[in-house]
Structure 1
């Protein structure tokens, strides 16, 4: 049986203790993250999130060792991409995702990087005087004109489509234009919480859009309940008010004397 160094055992045991001590475990990809940025983010997250890095092989061993205590956590091995690290926190997954998103910052695009979204050069003035740069911009699909002795971008231009790699020429143009399309930070790939794995697509929700959808759904449900005369805590007062209005309207149209309409009926009779 192969000998395992005590230092390696210690690393694995420390990670196992962390996994068992925290209810929420996240995986992040730290590829292309500058050291200075990482240290800054560690400071921002101190007291909320514990960040630990080790070899991917050790992480796989850890996730296998704790699977009896954390149901389904071994599936997190599928999300150990790029340069992975593990996060440990007591915050819920969506709060963790929001915290990490707030700590992201922009950065210039480098040759060979994959565009996380369409990279757009917006219409507007540039600092460039007329010269060879006009043909460079044109080769990138950027339409220009000369105004007041300076080059102006006439309309928004997508220079790299989402998922495509940034070429050396495009990277150079973007830097000269001051466009920083990349996001630098802890790239959250998945979060484990009580047997459920939340992927990046699920966690990166638009909060405003989500709240608006809830409001629309609520209003639709109220409307349907009123239409069906379905009593709930929310619709009872509305339905009573609706019934009163309809009863009053009927009483007035049929000259039925009742407490709520007798004055109006008498006034109508005296006209």
Structure 2
């Protein structure tokens, strides 16, 4: 039997203890992360998560040894690529992913690196005096010229498209322009939580889109509650307001006089009177002097109709205010 070094046994033992004592296990790739950034990231995770680097075969051994306690934990093995490390935490997988993504910092492009998105050189003054750098910019395809004694990029230019490799010359040019298109940080490849493996594409959440979805869902529920007259804390005022406006409209159209309708009825009668007077004003002797004087002071006479849309407008205003507040609360709870 081959001899197994004691340090390897101790390493596997410690990994097993960490795996058993944390509810969420993440696999990350630390390839090409500078030591300084790594220290900053460890500091940002202090008290929240533990990052442990180890040889892939030792991690596999530890995963296999605890598989009977954590079903499906060995599903993390295929995600151990590059320079793998394990993250141990009790945060949920989505919060862990967000923390790691937020800790990433801009970095200069290196020769041979692959652009994760289009790398754009923006239009404007580069700050460089006329000289050889103008030729360097033009050699890599950047539309540059001399303008007011400075080298200026004439328009936004995509120098490297997403998925393309960055050449040494382009990398040098971008560095001189102080453009840092890359990101340095820990990439969470997958996370294990409650017997489920979550990959990075599942863990990514578009916060703006999520907020919009929450707002749309709240608005739909709000409208349903109001239209079905189902009172809740959020909709009871809109339902009462809607009922009041409909009752008032009915009273006005039926000429029922009360404290709430008297002003509207008088206004409606006055408007209808002026409309009739305007229609017959061309008939000689049809109007007395008082009506003629009144018509001359009115630019236009349009019937006043109490629309039920007012109720909908008031309802929409309350809905908008409530949806923004409740949706924000919901999103805050989601992302912690």
Give the TM-score range, shorter chain: 0.7 to 0.9
Which residue number corresponds to residue 212 of structure 1? Answer: 212
Q: TM-score, normalised by structure 2?
A: 0.72
Question: Are 1:231 and 2:230 an aligned pair?
Answer: yes
Which residue number corresponds to residue 52 of structure 2? Answer: 52
TM-superposed deviation, 1:111: 0.8
Q: Distance in 1 between matches of 2:262 and 2:132?
A: 87
Which residue number corresponds to residue 240 of structure 1? Answer: 240
Which residue number corresponds to residue 67 of structure 2? Answer: 67
Question: Are 1:254 and 2:254 an aligned pair?
Answer: yes
TM-superposed deviation, 1:244: 2.5
Q: Deviations over 1:184-232 (max 9, x none)?
A: 12122222222233322233323233223311321133224434x1625
Structure 1 stretch displaced more, 124-133 or 75-84: 124-133
Give the 3 Å change call, closer, same or farther, for CA 24–257 of structure 1 in structure 2.
same
Correspondence 1:105-184 to 2 at 5 A = 105-184=105-184
Q: Distance in 1 between matches of 2:178 and 2:27?
A: 32
CA RMSD after TM alignment: 2.6
Bigger-Rg structure (1/2): 2
Q: Distance in 2 between matches of 1:59 and 1:230?
A: 59
Q: Distance in 2 between matches of 1:81 and 1:14?
A: 21
Q: Secondary structure at the match of 2:17?
A: helix
Give the 3 Å change call, closer, same or farther, for CA 221–270 of structure 1 in structure 2.
closer
Q: TM-score, normalised by structure 1?
A: 0.88
Question: Are 1:95 and 2:95 an aligned pair?
Answer: yes
Q: Deviations over 1:215-258 (max 9, x none)?
A: 1321133224434x162524344223312221221122113467
Question: In 2, are the aligned partners of 1:105 and 1:185 still within 8 Å (CA)?
Answer: yes
Correspondence 1:191-206 to 2 at 5 A = 191-206=191-206
TM-superposed deviation, 1:261: 4.6
Q: Distance in 2 between matches of 1:265 and 1:166?
A: 73
TM-superposed deviation, 1:82: 1.2
Q: Which structure would you say has the larger RCO, counting Cα contacts within 8 Å and 6 or more residues apart?
A: 1
Q: Distance in 1 between matches of 2:24 and 2:226?
A: 42
TM-superposed deviation, 1:32: 0.6
Which is richer in helix?
2
Which residue number corresponds to residue 190 of structure 2? Answer: 190
Q: Which runs of 5+ in 2 are unaligned?
A: 271-336
Q: Which runs of 5+ in 1 are unaligned?
A: none
Give the 3 Å change call, closer, same or farther, for CA 208–4 of structure 1 in structure 2.
same
